[in-house]
Amino acid sequence: MMKAISVRGTVASRISLWCAGTVLALGGGVASAAGVTDAMIKNDAVTTDQVLTVGLGLHGQRHSPLKTINAGNIGDLVPAWTFSFGGEKQRGQETQPLIYDGKMFITGSYSRLWALDAKTGKMLWDYQHRLPDGIMPCCDVINRGAALFGDLVIFGTLDARLVALNQDTGKVVWNEKLGDYKAGYSYTAAPLIVDGLVITGVSGGEFGIVGKVDARDAATGKLVWSRPTVEGHMGTFKGKDNGITGKTNASWPGDMWKYGGAATWLGCTYADDVGLVYCGTGNPAPWNAHLRPGDNLYSTSTVAIDVKTGKIRWSYQSTPNDHWDFDGVNEFIPFDMDGKKVGAKADRNGFFYVIDRANGKLINASPFVTRQTWASGVDLKTGRPIESGNRPGDPSQASGEKGESVFSAPSFLGGKNWMPMAYSPDTGYFYVPANEWGMDIWNEPITYKKGAAYLGAGFNIKPLYEDYIGALRAIDPRTGKIVWEAKNDAPLWGGVMTTAGDLVFTGTPEGYFKAFDARTGKELWKFQTGSGVVGQPATWEQDGVQYIAIASGWGGAVPLWGGDVAKKVKDISQGGMMWVFRLHESGADVAKN
Amino acid sequence: MSLLRRSHRLRTCALWFALCAVCAQTVVADDRDDRDDSDGSLAAVKARGTQEVALYDAFPPYSYQGAAGPAGIDVDLGRALAKRLGVGFKARLFPADETMSVDLRNNLWKGHYLGGGVADVMIHVAADPKFAAREDKVDFFGAYFNEAVSVVYRPDRMEDFESPLALSTRKVGVEIDSISDYYLSGAFNGRLRTAAVRHGSLREAVEAFRAGQLDALMAPRGELQGLMKAMDLGEVRFRQQELLGLFRTSWDIGLAVRRAQDHSLRQALAGALDELRAEGELEKIFARHGVVYVAPSSARAGAE
The residue that leads in pLDDT, B269 or A454, is B269
- Residue B240, pLDDT > 80, answer no
- The pair phi, psi for residue A177, each rounded to 5°, is -85, 125
pLDDT interval class at A501 (50, 70, 90): very high
pLDDT interval class at A563 (50, 70, 90): confident
Considering all CA atoms of chain B, what is the largest pairwise distance in Å, rounded to the nearest integer?
Answer: 75
DSSP string, chain B: -HHHHHHHHHHHHHHH-TT-TTTGGG-------------S-HHHHHHHTEEEEEEESSBTTTBEEETTEEESHHHHHHHHHHHHHTSEEEEEEE---SSHHHHHIIIIIS--TT-----SEEEEEE--HHHHTT-TTEEEEEEEEEEEEEEEE-TTT----SSGGGGGGS-EEEETTSHHHHHHHHGGGGTTGGGEEEESSHHHHHHHHHTT--SEEEEEHHHHHHHHHHHT--S-EEE-----SSS--EEEEEEEEE--S--HHHHHHHHHHHHHHHTTHHHHHHHHTT------HHHHHHH-
Q: Where are the domains of chain A?
A: 9-592
d(CA B244, CA B100): 24
Q: Using a CB-CB distance cutoff of 8 angstroms, which residues of chain A are in contact with residue B200?
A: 183, 208, 259
- Residue A19, pLDDT > 60, answer no
CB A261 within 8 A of CB A283: yes
Range of lowest pLDDT (A48-62, A168-182, A533-547, B20-34): B20-34
- The pair phi, psi for residue A80, each rounded to 5°, is -95, -45
pLDDT attached to residue A34: 65
Range of lowest pLDDT (A17-26, A208-217, B174-183, B288-297): A17-26
Among B67, B139, B62, which residue's Cα sits nearest to residue B104? B139
Q: Which of A127-136, A142-151, A451-460 has the highest mean pLDDT?
A: A142-151
Burial of B155 (0-12, 13-18, 19+ CB in 10 A): exposed
CA angle B254, B255, B257 (to 5 degrees): 155
DSSP string, A28-70: TTPPPP--B-HHHHHTGGG-SS-B-STTSSTT---EE---SS-
CB A477 within 8 A of CB A352: yes
- Residue A468, pLDDT > 80, answer yes
Residue B238 makes CB contacts below 8 A (sequence gap 6+) with B150, B151, B152, B221, B224
- Residue A15, pLDDT > 90, answer no
Q: What is the DSSP letter of A516?
A: E
Query: Each residue of A138-160: pLDDT tens digit?
Result: 778 999 999 999 999 999 999 99
pLDDT attached to residue B38: 63
Strand partners, A449: A452
- Residue A175, pLDDT > 70, answer yes
pLDDT attached to residue B32: 38
pLDDT attached to residue A514: 98
By three-state DSSP, how is residue A572 classified? Answer: coil
pLDDT attached to residue A589: 57
CATH architecture for residues B42-146+251-299: 3-Layer(aba) Sandwich (3.40)
pLDDT attached to residue B299: 74
Strand partners, B196: B172
CA A530 remoteness from chain centre = 23
Residue B220: asked if its preceding bond is cis (omega within 30°), the reply is no
Q: Which percentage of chain A shows pLDDT scores above 70?
A: 91
pLDDT attached to residue A564: 79
Closest approach of chain A CAs to the CA of B30, in angstroms? 7
pLDDT interval class at A76 (50, 70, 90): very high
- Residue A483, pLDDT > 60, answer yes
- Residue A17, pLDDT > 60, answer no
pLDDT attached to residue B30: 35
CB A230 within 8 A of CB A257: yes
- Residue A26, pLDDT > 50, answer no
Among A461, A464, A460, which residue's Cα sits nearest to residue A371? A464
A325 noted as active-site residue: yes
A27's enclosing H/E stretch is helix A9-27
d(CA A513, CA A396): 47
- Give, to the nearest 10 degrees, the angle between helix A9-27 and helix B2-16: 10
Of A2, A130, A395, the CB nearest to B114: A2
d(CA A506, CA A495): 6
CB A344 within 8 A of CB A430: yes
Question: Are the Cβ atoms of B130 and A446 closer than 8 angstroms?
Answer: yes
How many CB pairs lie under 8 A apart between chains A and B? Answer: 224
d(CA B175, CA A450): 12
CB A452 within 8 A of CB B176: no
For all residues of chain A together, what is the average pLDDT?
90
Range of lowest pLDDT (A12-26, B52-66, B130-144): A12-26
Question: Are the Cβ atoms of B30 and A127 closer than 8 angstroms?
Answer: no
- Residue A371, pLDDT > 80, answer yes
Q: What is the DSSP letter of A131?
A: P
Strand order in the sheet with A470-476: A422-423, A430-435, A470-476, A481-488
For all residues of chain B together, what is the average pLDDT?
84
The residue that leads in pLDDT, A560 or A106, is A106
d(CA A438, CA B211): 49
- Residue B291, pLDDT > 80, answer yes
What CATH code is assigned to A9-592? 2.140.10.10
d(CA A5, CA A131): 9
When pLDDT is averaged across residues A444-466 and rounded to a whole number, the result is: 88
Among A389, A360, A229, which residue's Cα sits nearest to residue A299? A229
Burial of A319 (0-12, 13-18, 19+ CB in 10 A): buried
CATH architecture for residues B147-239: 3-Layer(aba) Sandwich (3.40)
- Residue A516, pLDDT > 60, answer yes
pLDDT interval class at A195 (50, 70, 90): very high
Q: What is the DSSP letter of A297?
A: T
Query: Each residue of B183-211: pLDDT tens digit?
Result: 898 888 889 999 999 998 999 999 999 99
Range of lowest pLDDT (A441-450, B120-129, B206-215, B264-273): A441-450
By three-state DSSP, how is residue A283 classified? Answer: coil
pLDDT attached to residue B245: 66
- The pair phi, psi for residue A491, each rounded to 5°, is -65, 140
The ipTM of this complex is 0.84
When pLDDT is averaged across residues A542-567 and rounded to a whole number, the result is: 89
- Residue B31, pLDDT > 50, answer no
d(CA B124, CA B116): 21
Burial of B245 (0-12, 13-18, 19+ CB in 10 A): middle
pLDDT attached to residue A218: 98
Interface of A with B in 107-136 (CB under 8 A): 110, 112, 127-132, 134-136
Of A7, A290, A451, the CB nearest to B6: A7
Question: Are the Cβ atoms of A183 and B200 closer than 8 angstroms?
Answer: yes
Query: Each residue of A319-358: pLDDT tens digit?
Result: 999 999 999 999 999 999 999 999 999 999 999 999 999 9
Q: Which of A27-36, B205-214, B246-255 has the highest mean pLDDT?
A: B205-214
pLDDT interval class at A459 (50, 70, 90): confident
Going by DSSP bridges, is the β-strand pair A340-346/A147-149 parallel, antiparallel, or unpaired? unpaired
Given A168, A322, A325, A502, the catalytic residue: A325
CA A169 remoteness from chain centre = 27
Interface of A with B in 169-208 (CB under 8 A): 171-172, 182-183, 205-208
Query: Each residue of A87-119: pLDDT tens digit?
Result: 877 899 999 999 999 999 999 999 999 999 999
Which of B4, B28, B243 best probes binding to A when mutated, by most A CB atoms within 10 angstroms? B28
Q: Where are the domains of chain B?
A: 42-146+251-299, 147-239
Q: Considering Cα of B59, then B93, then B41, then B138, what sign does the dihedral take?
A: positive
The residue that leads in pLDDT, A107 or B303, is A107
By three-state DSSP, how is residue A9 classified? Answer: helix
Tell me how crowded residue A20 is: count the other CB atoms within 10 A of its CB: 14
pLDDT attached to residue B28: 35
Q: Please report, as a single letter, which amino acid is at residue A527.
A: F
Q: Using a CB-CB distance cutoff of 8 angstroms, which residues of chain B are in contact with residue A134?
A: 57, 95
Among B127, B109, B63, B116, which residue's Cα sits nearest to residue B89? B63
d(CA B122, CA A264): 35
Closest approach of chain A CAs to the CA of B268, in angstroms? 23
d(CA B158, CA A483): 67
CB A411 within 8 A of CB A557: no
A560's enclosing H/E stretch is helix A558-561
Strand partners, A164: A154, A174
CB A109 within 8 A of CB A128: no
pLDDT attached to residue A14: 34
pLDDT interval class at A442 (50, 70, 90): confident
d(CA A572, CA A580): 21
By three-state DSSP, how is residue A146 classified? Answer: coil
d(CA A390, CA B143): 40
- Residue A288, pLDDT > 50, answer yes
- Residue A232, pLDDT > 60, answer yes
Q: What is the DSSP letter of A469?
A: S
Interface of A with B in 71-110 (CB under 8 A): 87-89, 91, 110
CB A475 within 8 A of CB A430: yes
pLDDT attached to residue A115: 98
pLDDT attached to residue B116: 83
CB A107 within 8 A of CB A113: yes
Residue A434 makes CB contacts below 8 A (sequence gap 6+) with A346, A368, A369, A415, A416, A470, A471, A472, A473, A492
Tell me how crowded residue A320 is: count the other CB atoms within 10 A of its CB: 19
The residue that leads in pLDDT, B234 or B9, is B234
Of A11, A18, A140, the CB nearest to B31: A11
The residue that leads in pLDDT, B106 or A135, is B106
Interface of B with A in 200-239 (CB under 8 A): 200, 220
